[in-house]
Amino acid sequence: MAMHVLDRKLLRDLKRMWAQVLAIALVLACGVMILVLAIGVQRSLQDTLDAYYERNRFAEVFSGAKRAPESLLGEIRALPGVRVAETRIVGQVVLDVPGLSEPAAGRVISLPEIDVPALNLPLVVTGRPPAQDSVDEVMVTRAFADANGFVAGDRFSANLNGRKRELTITGTALSPEYIYVLGPGAMLPDNRRFGVLWMPRRALAAAFDLQGAFNDVSLALTREGRAEEVIPALDRILAPYGGAGAYGRAEQASHIFIEGELTQLRALAQILPPIFFVISAFLVNMVLARIVTLERGVIGLLKALGYSDLAVAGHFLKFASLVAAIGIVIGWAVGSWLAQGMARLYTEFFEFPYLVFDPRGDSYAISAAAGLVAAGLGAVQGVRRAVRMPPAVAMVPPAPPTFKRGLSDRLATWARFSQPSMMVLRGITRWPGRATFSVLAISAAVAMLMSASFFPDSLDEIIDTSFFRQNRQDAMLILTRDQTENVVEDVRHLPGVIAAEPMQYLPVVLRHGHLSRRIAIEARDPDATLSRVTDASGQPVAPAGGGIILSDRLAERLAVKPGDKVQVEVLTGRRDTLTVPVTDIATVYFGLGAYMDRGALARLLRSPPQASVVNIAMDRQRADALYAAAKETPGLAGTVLLFQTRASFRETISRNVLNTTVVYILIAVLITVGVTYNGARIQLSERARELASLRILGFSRAEVSYILMGELMLLSILAQPVGWLLGWAFAYAQVKSFSSDLYSLPFVMNPATYAKASLVVLAASAASALIVRRRIDSLDLVAVMKTRE
């Protein structure tokens, strides 16, 4: 079948303008790619999460207790809205891992004596669960085993409630409860030094003296059941037995982190793609408008030969659609590849057992529709001009533009600009709309770079504040239960301990009006120096008297300010309800913090001061002796080595920041090249006769090149302050989207961030202009002067 005449012309146009078409297609492909990537990964994670939760029966309500009789299970199961209830024993233990000098920490969980767990079912990856009649067999998390090189049959020691026992690994498992594994007091996962262990209930009950009792319960709800109604009822049942306060899945630590990642992916799909589609529409508009201008005669001839307005409009719309199709195909391919790779990374990072990656057609359809709509909107103006031109008018060369001396000419004359500089200025003022869109598009590239480049500054602020101003201790010794002041003296006598300071964690519910948050108050002495809180200026702050200090994000969630009063519902002991004033607001980047004076808290609770954690400064030269003593110390639930956390945090974040920065630089360069290269090519086609005339009149190649490149570089320079403003706004929006109950990101924008973004964009603009500038050297002056324009 013979190809249509207009289609052959279309293919010739695409071949002739392949570089411009590719530049536009790549910009549009970025928008398509991010849509496919963000939607694909978000849905993949969500589908994997939903399938994992359902297959392994992840609970919806959780609660701890000190010691509750097993006979309560029937009463709990009878609560309205409860479908399944299961009790278990959970304990914190110190581990002595071969090849690891420092003590590791573990959370040991009981397995039912008969059958498998009804809720929070661990998925066996290798080996087998421990035998029900065994007293020294455990199953461990896969990540803990991999990090330490464990296989089935290997052994390590654990301090179970003050009694050291040799344990044998029977297998490895994953759990929906520990997709994101954080040890007690930890800020980042550390699979080498923290693991979850599963042990037969009979053996664990004997070790923790909980025969016929439990200290942890999980619930699954009916379809009609609501967590906010079940939680108060469960608290009432467990209150006499040291209930620690029930909470729903939304407050479970692992689930919170994953939900935060899903929220960020949704934000990514909503914020970035529209920028690329708008820029693509602008570029299509530029190119198509120029094609229509250059092909006036061809359009007139086509109409004179009988081609309808619809056929002419369809021809130019096909051009825009093919440009979009190229971008869509590239975006689909790269987006699908990146989505699968990122989904696998998330699967490994979050310890999912499998990946449900089923790219749905609607994500590709949405991205394709967005790309086609962007190209179509960009083509509207050019198509309208082509359709409205009568054949007789189209075949006559257009009248030259009317020249009027404007403000820019007067300013150039007053400033004594050279003739080439005046031509540059006139080129911009002659097409103000195009110049404005060019400035906005280039400024978007600057903003993209700033959105990535501010991360290192913010992370440096996190490290400086969290690890050097606030948490200045070398290690935290976490106790199995609250103890009196005597424990601090015991810790001071451990080898290598230079200083020791107590700190108490008190589980409470803070209420202000209708708002509430389940939190642990950190109570420390007013003269504490190893662990302290700071305000927005970085200065240490201490609660006055019986007042409380709240972290900035907690204060925001409770809508309180200094001077307001909050209700404190204590979830342990006598479960008192206190009313305390908010004395100050602290800047905290990890978790939601509430802080009180330890002595004042003890007076309010009518009990002696307690210690849940002992912060220490240690002599690194005697670290091995301290580690050995910690492994043998009864009453110790675990240790957190802050100096290792600092190094791990910096290493992990630096690697992720580098990858993110490289991606954003590539995207910014694509935007800049797409805008400046197309702008330079269009200028060259519009002003080829003018530039050739200047060469004949004696202007040098450098002067002629300056006219072409000067306009582009001036627009690029004008785009910088606009880009700085947009970049500031984008970075601020990212900071807000990153904020969650687990962590937040400070907004820090140093001058170097502005400079780096501008330098990269200006360099890309100059490179694009230089590529086009080479065509000036090969201009055929005679041929150009024979053209009608």
Q: Mark whether 579 and 666 lie in a shared domain.
A: no
**pLDDT exceeds 60 at position 524:** yes
Find out whether 640 and 531 touch, Cβ atoms under 8 Å.
Answer: no
Q: Mark whether 508 and 459 lie in a shared domain.
A: no
Lowest average pLDDT, out of 17-21, 79-83, 180-184, 727-731, goes to 17-21
- Res 787: pLDDT: 54
**pLDDT exceeds 90 at position 218:** yes
- Res 280: pLDDT: 81
In a domain, 343, yes or no: yes
The average confidence (pLDDT) of the chain is 82
Lowest average pLDDT, out of 243-247, 283-287, 361-365, goes to 283-287
Q: What is the pLDDT of residues 537-577, one digit of tens each?
A: 888 888 877 899 999 889 989 999 998 999 998 888 778 88
**pLDDT exceeds 60 at position 96:** yes
More confident residue, 655 or 764: 764
Q: What is residue 519's three-state secondary structure?
A: strand
CATH of the domain at 572: 2.40.40
In a domain, 294, yes or no: yes
Q: What is the pLDDT of residues 606-628, one digit of tens each?
A: 888 999 999 999 998 898 899 88
In a domain, 410, yes or no: no
pLDDT tier at 766 (50, 70, 90 boundaries)? confident
In a domain, 416, yes or no: no
Q: Mark whether 56 and 20 lie in a shared domain.
A: yes
**pLDDT exceeds 60 at position 534:** yes
DSSP state of 306: T
Q: Mark whether 236 and 286 lie in a shared domain.
A: no
pLDDT tier at 1 (50, 70, 90 boundaries)? very low
pLDDT tier at 419 (50, 70, 90 boundaries)? low
Q: Mark whether 141 and 221 lie in a shared domain.
A: yes
More confident residue, 461 or 186: 461
- Res 137: pLDDT: 93
In a domain, 604, yes or no: yes
Q: Mark whether 547 and 685 lie in a shared domain.
A: no
State how many domains the chain has. Answer: 4
Find out whether 503 and 523 touch, Cβ atoms under 8 Å.
Answer: yes
In a domain, 185, yes or no: yes
Q: Among 217, 249, 281, give the residue marking a domain's end.
A: 249
Q: Mark whether 33 and 90 lie in a shared domain.
A: no
pLDDT tier at 397 (50, 70, 90 boundaries)? low
Q: Among 354, 374, 398, give the residue marking a domain's end.
A: 398
Highest mean pLDDT out of 8-17, 485-494, 647-656: 485-494
**pLDDT exceeds 80 at position 113:** yes
Q: Mark whether 501 and 612 lie in a shared domain.
A: yes
Q: Mark whether 34 and 85 lie in a shared domain.
A: no
Q: Pairing between strand 163-174 and 137-141?
A: parallel
Tokens in use for 296? 């006036």
- Give the number of residues written for the chain: 789
- Res 271: pLDDT: 76
Q: Mark whether 444 and 568 lie in a shared domain.
A: no
pTM above 0.95, yes or no: no
Task: Report which secondary-structure segment, H or E, holds 88.
Answer: strand 82-88
**Measured distance CA(338)–CA(344) in Å, rounded:** 10
**Measured distance CA(670)–CA(741) in Å, rounded:** 36
Please count the CA atoms within 13 angstroms of the CA of 647 that sit on its side-chain side: 4
Report, as an integer, the average pLDDT of 474-489: 87
**pLDDT exceeds 60 at position 783:** no
pLDDT tier at 642 (50, 70, 90 boundaries)? confident
Q: Residue 580's closest CA among 557, 605, 556, 553?
A: 605
**pLDDT exceeds 90 at position 90:** yes
In a domain, 479, yes or no: no
Q: Mark whether 449 and 568 lie in a shared domain.
A: no
- Res 2: pLDDT: 43
- Res 683: pLDDT: 67
pLDDT tier at 52 (50, 70, 90 boundaries)? very high
In a domain, 771, yes or no: yes
Q: Mark whether 217 and 274 lie in a shared domain.
A: no
- Res 71: pLDDT: 92
Query: What is the percent of the chain with per-residue pLDDT over 70, rounded to a whole number?
Result: 86
Residues spanned by the domain of 393: 1-60+250-398
Q: Among 249, 272, 290, give the residue marking a domain's end.
A: 249
